[in-house]
Chain A
Amino acid sequence: MKKLGGFLFIVAVLFSFAMVISAQQEEAATEEVAAAAEVPASVDMTLEMKPDKFVMPANFRGGDPDRGLVNAVEDVFYEQHEHSILYKEDAAEVADGAKFEGDPNITWDTKVKDADGNFQTVSSVNTNMAGNGGKFFAPGEYQIGNGGARQVGGAEGAEDVTTGNEDGTPGTAGGENTVEGATPGAEGNPSAGGSETVDGSLVGENGETAAGGAKTVTANQAMGVLVHDVTSPDMWIAFQEGAGNIDMATTEQELKDKMLEKIVSNLGRPFSSKAEDYEDASYVFVDEGAADERDLEPWKKTARLSVAGTLFNAAGAPKFETKVVESKPLDQEEMTSQIHIAGGEKSALKGVFVRRNVPFIFAAMSVDNGDNRGKPAEVACRIETADGNEVEKDGKAYMFRIPNFPREEYKEQPEYFFVSKALDKSGNLTTVRMPLHIVNIQAAFEGGRNK
């Protein structure tokens, strides 16, 4: 047994030596090949999102796990890393005998996929760093690209910086890029259009070749990122009372058309903060807020409630009021959000106050950051009783003949609520439920406004 052990030991040692010799031979052979090899024009690169708790699983929100996109959420900081042999200290892996001449040039590109499936550049940042971080401020499909380049010299092919055509024939230095009227070159410098020596190397300042004998070698890699929407949609609700002699159906359509146009042009924000701009109709705005309130991290998200016009107080006084409201997680796992505006006595939104015997209409629209607030959608909304039964229109408009406010005076009258709900494609929700008060003020039909 001891003999067998000794034999095996010798075999193991010999095997190891054999492997080393073999490896060295292979290395030598590779060196021979490399010595003859030119500096390549481009090399491989790797690129990855740094693991983070907000890098969502492959099947996030029911997505195809083979989709091949990194699942991320908007408004959260992510870090990306990339690497290449072009970024190493030693250029030997690029080509044998090669040397890096200077630092690499590194650019991080973020492109977003447009409706036609093409990638449009969102940002291009020349950081010269292999690590990069940032937030995606809007949902969508992105492509993170890293472009790297470095000057490599010292090996065969590194002087290949001439103007020669690809077939090796001399090129036309200056060619179409010459300038008539350019100042003639100073001593030692070429005139406009440059000059080319017989061997093809360029003569530049101080007689050096254009690129100092080095060649630009490039590398790039890309990564797809699907950024999910975690922001509730913006919602606009408008109420408009009608004079007795107008067609309320036409008025309703006009109101919707106006909202469609303004909600897009104002990116969901109130179109005015002046109360006098809301004489025709009164509005409730629920939106992501002013510039510094937008794009907050999911756990910090808020919304802004604004009420404008004459229908949000019992006296019909025109006003524009605005305040920040909370956004709450709707589904922790899916990372969806909900903004719920509950109007009432204790709320900033007391309710909507309409006059008895005055017809009124309402409409609600929403826009979502999921499509850059570019496609307004009509929002489901209705008036319902406290037990949830929908109240129908009285002809072409809503109209109540018996007041129910103040409540202590009209306890026997039913309570009414206005409800609306906007849901984006990702499941983020904005909801409003506020009392609808019918006040006992005589109508002033000729004005069409509740002054």
Chain B
Amino acid sequence: MKTIRIVAISAVVMFGSMVMAQEPSGAPVNLEKTPWLKGVELSPYPTNLTPTLPLAIYLENGEAIPATLTEDVPIVVVADTAIFDSDAPSKANDQEIPNPRWDASTAVSWYFIDWEKNKNFNASATPGLAANQMVVMPTTPTGKGAVTCHMARRMRYDAPEPGRSIVSYANSSGGRDVRVLDITPPLCGLEITVKDGKSGSFWPVEYPADKYPLPKTANVYFGGQLFGAVDKEIVVEGLTLGDSMIINPEQVTIGVAATDQLTIRVIGGDNYKLDNAKVKFGICNGAGGEPSPVGPINEETLDLSKITIPENAYIYIDAADTTGNRQVLFVPLNVVK
């Protein structure tokens, strides 16, 4: 009899252990590879009846979302999902839900994910749209992005005990992969230091931010003793951000002596990817159009005594991003002999 018991127990234990080995929820978590699970003590498998409903995202007019969106250009997107149906779903993972009924309205969230930075942005809320609609304006250029929508709606179903009920959530989410084209030129400036003298810097700031329709505009800030702007920056407003940003001599001038040595450093960058190979700076003759360099290009130190400075001299910064957007900014140079 004892043997029978041992054998029976052995069989149960063996059977049980085999079932356990197939249960993945007990698998150890490697926090080095999944650091986002740090401290999480929860199974990934729902134990209550919580249906996941398909969700498709379209444009407002019913067409598919373009695979390439353009930075700062809003689109109206629509989510198609059964979460707005009058009847709550009756199945969750092929299990029947007893007497399902909605218990609250739907909570909706839209995001734009920049996968290159693994960062998301809330879609702008626009009044007057239906619950399943949203205006999405991608403000960050990216080669890998996605428009995603997440919805949840509280529902209730009958509990096994008579007269009692259980609450769970119907969930519906989906995404459309897109890329976002950069249409903003770089925002580069220069930091200039006169040897044994004054220093200063200037830089453009896109203003208003995320402006659309084109053209983009910017304010150019000048700060430092070189510009007589120690306590407060000088701001030249409303320049068209592009390849012909010209500061007039009556606005700001870089005043230096003919014997000065200038140390120049590029500051700023692009909202996506600056094409470093195309960044150029130096002294040029006149402003506008293609810069006509005078003296060396991209030299960190400029010895003015070795350069023949023209009467209409400018310091320029010419930059382009990898998409091809270009910015050329000219600042008057007044060399006192």
Q: Which residues of A contact B50 (CB under 8 A)?
A: 44, 221
| B159: chain A residues within 8 A (beta carbon) | 66
Q: Is the C-beta of B252 less than 8 angstroms from some C-beta in chain A? A: no
Q: Which of A5, A15, A50 has the most CB of B within 10 A?
A: A5
> Is there an interface contact between A93 and B66, defined as CB atoms closer than 8 Å?
no
Partner of A192, one of B8, B61, B183: B183
Residues of A within 8 A of B143 (CB): 204-205, 208, 210
Instruction: Determine if A220 and B151 form an interchain contact, defined as CB atoms under 8 angstroms apart.
Output: yes
Q: Are B167 and A177 in contact (CB under 8 A)?
A: no
Does A177 lie within 8 Å of B68, measured CB to CB? yes
User: Which residue of B4, B212, B323 is within 8 Å of A5 (Cβ)?
Assistant: B4
The answer to whether A164 has its CB under 8 Å from any CB of chain B is: yes
Residue from A41, A218, A222 within 8 A of B152 (CB atoms)? A222
The contact string, 1 if C-beta is below 8 Å from chain A, for chain B 69-108, is 1100101000000000000000001000000000111110
Q: Report B-chain residues with C-beta under 8 Å of the C-beta of A15.
A: 11, 15
**Contact yes or no, A210 B43, CB < 8 A:** no
B51-59, B202-210, B285-293: which one contacts chain A?
B51-59
| B199 is an interface residue with CB less than 8 A from chain A | no
Is B64 part of the contact surface with A, judged by Cβ < 8 Å? yes
A106 located at the interface, meaning its Cβ lies under 8 Å from any Cβ of chain B in the complex: yes
A119 contacts partner chain B, Cβ-Cβ < 8 Å: yes
| Contact string against A for B residues 153-183, beta-carbon threshold 8 Å, 1 for contact and 0 otherwise | 0101001000011111101111111110101
A316 lies within 8 A of chain B by Cβ: no
B33 within 8 A of A: yes
- Once the chains bind, are B1 and A1 in contact (CB under 8 Å)? yes
Q: How far is the CA of A87 from the CA of B54 in the complex (A)?
A: 20
A residues 1-33 in Cβ contact with B at 8 Å? 1-2, 4-5, 8-9, 11-13, 15-16, 19-20, 23
CB distance from B115 to the nearest CB of A (A): 6
Pairwise interchain contact B107-A8, C-beta atoms closer than 8 A: no
Write out the residue numbers on chain A whose beta carbons fall within 8 Å of the beta carbon of B11: 8-9, 11-13, 15-16
Is B130 at the interface (CB under 8 A from chain A)? no
Report the bound CA distance from A207 to B315 in whole Å: 37
Contacts of A178 in B (CB 8 A): 70
Per-position binary interface string of chain A over residues 250-287, scored 1 when its CB falls under 8 Å from any chain B CB and 0 otherwise = 00000000000000000000000000000000000000
Contact B109 A107 (CB under 8 A): yes
B305 CB within 8 Å of chain A: no
Query: Are A172 and B103 in contact, CB atoms less than 8 angstroms apart?
Result: no
Chain A residue contacts of B213, Cβ below 8 A? 179-181
Q: How far is the CA of A407 from the CA of B2 in the complex (A)?
A: 94
Q: Name, among A15, A45, A84, the residue most crowded by chain B CB atoms within 10 Å (CB to CB).
A: A45
Contact code string A64-106 (vs B, CB < 8 Å = 1, else 0): 0011110000000001011111011100010000000011111
The yes or no answer to A386 lying at the interface (CB within 8 A) is: no
A194 surroundings in chain B (CB, below 8 A): 66-68, 179, 181
Closest to B320 in A: A186
Q: Across the interface, do A5 and B107 meet the contact criterion of CB distance under 8 Å?
A: no
Q: Are A102 and B115 closer than 8 Å at their CB atoms?
A: yes
Of the candidates B3, B38, B75, B177, which one forms a contact with A176 in the assembled complex, judged by CB atoms under 8 Å apart? B75
- Inside 8 A of B148's CB, which chain A residues have their CB? 147, 149, 216, 218
Bound CA span A131–B42, Å: 10
In this complex, how many residues of chain B approach chain A with their Cβ under 8 Å: the count is 100
User: Within residues 1 to 27 of chain B, which ones have a CB less than 8 A from any CB in chain A?
Assistant: 1, 3-4, 7-8, 10-11, 14-15, 18, 22, 24
Q: Is A55 an interface residue (CB 8 A)?
A: no
Q: How far is the CA of A208 from the CA of B122 in the complex (A)?
A: 27
- A193 B175 Cβ-Cβ under 8 A: no
Q: Which residues of B contact A173 (CB under 8 A)?
A: 66-68
Q: Report the separation of the CA atoms of residues A129 and B33 in the bound assembly, to the nearest whole angstrom.
A: 13
**Contact residue among A13, A67, A126, A192 (Cβ-Cβ distance under 8 Å from B120):** A126
**Given the complex of chains A and B, what is the CA–CA distance between A217 and B54 in angstroms?**
11
Contact B111 A107, beta carbon cutoff 8 Å: yes
A185, CB-defined interface residue at 8 Å: yes
Residue A46 at the chain B interface, CB threshold 8 Å: yes
Residues in A with CB closer than 8 Å to B14 are 12-13, 16
Q: Is B63 an interface residue (CB 8 A)?
A: yes
- Contact indicator B67/A205 (Cβ below 8 Å): no
Please state if B3 and A161 are interface contacts (CB–CB under 8 Å): no
Which residues B97-142 have CB closer than 8 A to chain A?
A: 103-107, 109, 111, 113, 115, 118-120, 122, 125
Is A172's CB under 8 angstroms from B66's CB?
Answer: yes
Contact B120 A182 (CB under 8 A): no
Check A175–B59 contact: CB distance below 8 A.
Answer: yes
Contact B113 A216 (CB under 8 A): yes
B311: interface (CB < 8 Å): no
Q: Are B118 and A103 in contact (CB under 8 A)?
A: yes
Q: Which residues of B have CB within 8 Å of A172? A: 63-64, 66
Q: How far is B47's CA from A264's CA once the two chains are assembled, in angstroms?
A: 46
Bound CA–CA A192/B159 (angstroms): 55
| Contact flag A145-B178 (CB < 8 Å), given A23-B18, A48-B42 | no
Give every chain B residue within 8 A of A2 (Cβ-Cβ): 3
List 9 contacting pairs A-B, 8 Å CB cutoff, sorted by A: A42-B171, A67-B167, A149-B113, A178-B70, A190-B68, A192-B181, A211-B144, A215-B177, A220-B151
Q: A-B pairs with the 5 shortest C-beta distances?
A: A68-B167, A194-B68, A12-B11, A222-B152, A186-B324
Q: With A45-B44, A216-B176 given, name 4 new contacts (CB 8 A).
A: A5-B3, A83-B44, A85-B44, A149-B113
